Amino acid sequence: MKFLGNLSWDAIPWNSPLPLIAGGGVIAICIAIAAWIVLAGHLPYLWKEWITSVDHKRIGVMYILLGLVMTLRGFADAILMRTHQAYAYRADGYLPPEHFDQIFTSHGTIMIFFGAMPLMIGLMNFVIPLQLGVRDVAFPTWNSTSLWLTAAGALLVNISLVVGVFSRAGWLPYPPLSELEFSPDVGVDYYLWALLISGVGTLVTGINFVTTILKMRAPGMGYLRMSMYCWTALASNLLIVAAFPILTATLVMLTLDRYLGFHFFTAAGGGNMMMFINLIWAWGHPEVYILVLPAFGIFSEIISTFSNKPLFGYRSMVIATLGICIISFLVWLHHFFTMGAGGTVNAAFGIATSVIAVVTGVKVFNWLFTMYGGRIHYKTPMLWALGFLVTFVIGGMTGVLLAVPPADFLLHNSLFLVAHFHNTIIGGVVFGAFAGIAYWFPKAFGFRLHEGWGVAAFWFTIAAFYAVFIPLYMVGLLGMPRRMQHYDMEMWRPFILAAMVGIFLFGVALICQVIQLVVSIRQRERLRDETGDPWSGRSLEWATPSPPPIFNFAVQPTVYGEEPYWELKRRAIASQQNEGRYEAIKLPRNNATGFVTGFFASVIGFAMVWKIWWLAILGLVAAYAVFVWYAWRDIPEEKISAEEVARIDRAHRKSRAEWLARHSEKGNMA
């Protein structure tokens, strides 16, 4: 047995310059950043205040950072694919199939698991405890562990860029293509271990948030007084708890096939590939709602805040959310109508799918009626919300079209399908993330983002989205399948070229966002939010200073209605005038459990990919040891004295009062 398993110098792609240069560049940047951190003496701060933090707000910010960086990585893949196809008409383009196939696989995998998921989970992390009026999530150390397990998965996917290869079997690795016989290299193994590890993290997040929302609300906050975002987060996390075990089990079966010669999904030996496809979509369809439900919640908050009205039809929205939660488990077969299940089965799943559209439609109407009779202020978050409404309705319509089996027999696996799900994921999830970031950024960092650049980013994104995906819808109707490394059909070409122009517009939008961030940081004094309530918000997070102190609320708020903060403002009590009774606050102590577990999880994953058995065992033992060590700690909590709490809270009151005095003549508070 070799000491390093199957790992050797050949694993590094010496003869393919593209990934090597890209990977080298990324490594160089990472080393440079790390060196700067160490040399400038930031390491202790970073370690104590961020990496080992169990504060939900910091974990949320780190999740979002991870999501943004990975979205960038996935976007690079998208540029490669779009430009490649532009050159692949009756030609080979510039990416040979073995690269092109890796790129669309890593694009999908990264965007869903390490881009969109961390963005959504990050926003929930930051906002939900604040909106519930509590000090943290139910299990803070688990929360940190979830983050670092997700990061470990992301790391593995990116290591595969330089050490070995990534999977070439698509973001959902259908067998038999993903079995050892047809994918003998380590690509699928990287995929499997990355998702097995991050999947555990996501499941723990789900448990954590379900517990938090069910068990830890501020006094007076009955279920029907929770914000819409809390409801959609609850639904999303219930789906995580129900669906992610299916994903993990399915991937474990594929792993057993590949590592131990099992026959769950092989064509030979009594396996059945259709079982994989059923199982993966039994997770996969709920997954798309895991992503989009929190975005629905974000838009509910934003539309109501910027329309200066409560959310219309709150109860109806709650029912619709829970309806989606249940129905999304009953429709998975619409992803493979073309596997030939028969008329009745196809029809049943087609109809079930369109019922989701009814429930989603209800939500759309309620958002519209929220705007009706409002006074709508078009700040960046509201622009994203409007862009979402228009875009998502179109995506929902094409979704229902694909749910009509005879139409799906013409459109399945075409670029029309690709356009559909980008329409819903970009228009729903990505817009939602951008809207949420713009909306809660001042809460997190104490200053607003620059409006002008935000508006520019919005319009470029909208233009880019339609420039890319209208052509893809059309070329899908012309019969062009997804994942083509080259093509000979002349009629497809103009559309592919148009889509390439669109992807460059996306690049411009991205640059606008980067500039926005830089400009905002430089002008942070001018953009400072001294009130803690820059948008005249309606839920509890706006009752805290920006950024909120580590304990969130100096005095536990009590809730009187559906819009707790709005009620407080209307009654003009407690949070505005009088101080509460300050008491000492106990908080969980920062600890490295999550980071160390994540580290060893990466080691295990890497060792398993290359079959370095001793290292895998070592990693497992070490990870277990960390848990034991954590369980035996003596002082799990630290205490913040009542005086300290009072000092922080009074400072905030003072700055808010000053701000109000300065602006009172403008009558800023609604």
Partner 1 sequence: MVLLAGCSGGVLDPKGQIAVQESEILLNSVGTMLIIVAPTLLATLAFAWWFRASNRKARYLPDWVFSGRLELINWGYPLLIILFLGGLIWMGSHRLDPFRPIAAAGKQLEVQVVSLDWKWLFIYPEQSVASVNELVLPVETPVHFSITSATVMNSFFVPQLGGMIAAMPGMITQLHLKADHMGDLWGLSTQFSGDGFAGMHFDVRVKSNEDFERWVEYARKSACDLDHAGYAALLRESQNVRPFVYRSVIPALFVKIVTGKVSPPNATAEQGSSVVACPETAQ
Stretch 385-404: interaction string toward ligand HEM, x if CB under 6 A: -----------x--xx-xx-
Q: Which of residues 460-489 bind partner 1 (CB under 8 A)?
A: 474, 477-479, 481-489
Q: Which of residues 274-333 bind partner 1 (CB under 8 A)?
A: 274, 307-316
- H helix or E strand, kind and range, residue 585: strand 585-588
Task: For the CB of residue 419, give the shortest distance to ligand HEM in the complex, in Å.
Answer: 11
Q: Which of 353, 441, 13, 362 is nearest to 185 (CA)?
A: 13
If one asks whether residue 378 binds partner 1 (CB under 8 A), the answer comes out as yes
Active-site residue (options: 189, 287, 301, 408)? 287
If one asks whether residue 338 binds partner 1 (CB under 8 A), the answer comes out as yes
Task: For the CB of residue 355, give the shortest distance to ligand HEM in the complex, in Å.
Answer: 9
Task: For the CB of residue 315, give the shortest distance to partner 1 in the complex, in Å.
Answer: 8
Alpha helices in 183-272 (DSSP H): 187-215, 228-260
Active site residue 73: yes
Which residue of this chain has its Cβ atom nearest to ligand HEM in the complex?
Answer: 399
Judge whether 412 and 402 are in contact, CB under 8 Å: yes
Query: Residue 395 or residue 436: which is nearer to partner 1 going by CB?
Result: 395
Question: What is the Cα–Cα distance from 559 to 140, expressed in whole angstroms?
Answer: 24
Which residue of this chain has its Cβ atom nearest to Cu ion in the complex?
Answer: 285
Residue 98: HSE in the Cβ half-sphere, 13 Å Cα cutoff: 10
Question: What is the Cα–Cα distance from 195 to 111, expressed in whole angstroms?
Answer: 13
Active site residue 649: no
Structure tokens at 151: 């990061």
Exposed e or buried b per residue across 290-317, where buried means at least 16 C-beta atoms within 10 angstroms of its C-beta: bbbbbbbbbbbbbbbbbbebbbbbbeeb
Phi, psi (deg, nearest 5) at residue 89: -80, 120
Active-site residue (options: 363, 412, 443, 450)? 363
Please report, to the nearest 10 degrees, the dihedral formed by the alpha carbons of residues 97, 100, 106, 111 taken in order.
-150
Question: What is the Cα–Cα distance from 100 to 87, expressed in whole angstroms?
Answer: 13
Active site residue 316: yes
Q: Which of residues 11-70 bind partner 1 (CB under 8 A)?
A: none
If one asks whether residue 357 binds partner 1 (CB under 8 A), the answer comes out as yes
Three-state SS at 404: coil
Judge whether 304 and 670 are in contact, CB under 8 Å: no
If one asks whether residue 642 binds partner 1 (CB under 8 A), the answer comes out as no
Q: Running DSSP on this structure, what letter comes out for residue 490? A: G
The number of beta carbons lying within 10 Å of the beta carbon of residue 375 is 10
Active site residue 259: no
Active site residue 363: yes
On the 0-12 / 13-18 / 19+ scale of CB atoms within 10 A, 430 is buried
Active site residue 285: yes
- For 550-616, the three-class secondary structure string (H helix, E strand, C coil) is CCCCCCCCCCCCCCHHHHHHHHCCCCCCCCCCCCCEEEECCCCHHHHHHHHHHHHHHHHHHCCHHHH
Candidates 241, 280, 417, 648: give the one binding ligand HEM (CB under 6 A). 417
Query: Residue 58 or residue 363: which is nearer to partner 1 going by CB?
Result: 363
Question: What is the Cα–Cα distance from 180 to 67, expressed in whole angstroms?
Answer: 31
If one asks whether residue 369 binds partner 1 (CB under 8 A), the answer comes out as yes
Say which entry of ligand HEM, partner 1, Cu ion, none residue 425 contacts (CB below 5 to 8 A, set by partner kind).
ligand HEM
On the 0-12 / 13-18 / 19+ scale of CB atoms within 10 A, 380 is buried
Candidates 365, 421, 459, 466: give the one binding ligand HEM (CB under 6 A). 421
Candidates 54, 204, 234, 356: give the one binding ligand HEM (CB under 6 A). 356
If one asks whether residue 359 binds ligand HEM (CB under 6 A), the answer comes out as no
Task: For the CB of residue 386, give the shortest distance to partner 1 in the complex, in Å.
Answer: 5
Stretch 331-350: interaction string toward ligand HEM, x if CB under 6 A: ---xx---------------
Question: What is the Cα–Cα distance from 84 to 519, expressed in whole angstroms?
Answer: 34
Q: Which of 460, 462, 360 is nearest to 403 (CA)?
A: 360
If one asks whether residue 413 binds partner 1 (CB under 8 A), the answer comes out as yes
Say which entry of Cu ion, partner 1, ligand HEM, none residue 428 contacts (CB below 5 to 8 A, set by partner kind).
ligand HEM
Active site residue 289: yes
Q: Which of residues 215-274 bind partner 1 (CB under 8 A)?
A: 267-268, 273-274
Residue 547 preceded by cis peptide, ω within 30: yes
Residue 628: HSE in the Cβ half-sphere, 13 Å Cα cutoff: 6
Candidates 154, 288, 386, 609: give the one binding ligand HEM (CB under 6 A). 288
Candidates 109, 144, 202, 414: give the one binding partner 1 (CB under 8 A). 414
If one asks whether residue 429 binds ligand HEM (CB under 6 A), the answer comes out as yes
- Binding residues for ligand HEM, per CB under 6 A? 288, 291-292, 334-335, 353, 356-357, 360, 396, 399-400, 402-403, 408, 412, 417, 420-421, 424-425, 428-429
Catalytically active residues are: 63, 73, 77, 81, 104, 125, 136, 143, 146, 150, 202, 205, 212, 285, 287, 289, 300, 316, 360, 363, 420-422
